[in-house]
């Protein structure tokens, strides 16, 4: 479990080739984050803004137990979606 705010890097190597893997590991990162903290999900640039594919899936799975905020595209090219529990 992560007992502090943290970042999950889901942007390099196999992630850039497999959107389903990004989604699965994003869910795992959210599950590993304790209530009262957030996880920054850093996703590959090849899939575009995670609000277009990941936010809805997170909302469907977690409902009102999480809040999300798109942060920005980072200098390395990936995108950052912050998920608060």
Q: What is the pLDDT of residues 47-81, one digit of tens each?
A: 999 999 999 999 999 999 999 999 998 777 899 99
Alpha-carbon separation of residue 63 from 16, 52, 58, 74, 77 (angstroms): 27, 17, 8, 27, 29
Tell whether the model's pLDDT for residue 46 goes beyond 90.
Answer: yes
Burial of 22 (0-12, 13-18, 19+ CB in 10 A): buried
pTM recorded for the entire structure: 0.95
Distance, in Å, from the CA atom of 10 to the CA atom of 21, rounded to the nearest integer, reads 9
Domain boundaries, the chain: 6-84
The DSSP code for 52 is: G
Q: What is the pLDDT of residues 18-33, one digit of tens each?
A: 999 999 999 999 999 9
Higher pLDDT, 74 or 2: 2
- Domain 6-84 class, CATH top level: alpha beta
Higher pLDDT, 75 or 40: 40
The whole-number pLDDT of residue 34 equals 98
Neighbours of 14 (CB within 10 A): 11
């Amino acid at each position: 479990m992560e007992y502090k705010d943290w970042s999950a890097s889901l942007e390099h190597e196999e992630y850039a080739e497999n959107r389903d893997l990004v989604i699965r590991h994003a869910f795992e990162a959210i599950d590993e984050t304790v209530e009262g903290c957030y996880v920054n999900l850093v996703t590959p640039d090849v899939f575009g803004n995670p609000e277009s594919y990941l936010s809805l899936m997170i909302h469907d799975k977690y409902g009102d137990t999480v809040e999300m905020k798109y942060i920005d595209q980072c200098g390395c090219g990936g995108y950052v979606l912050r998920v608060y529990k």
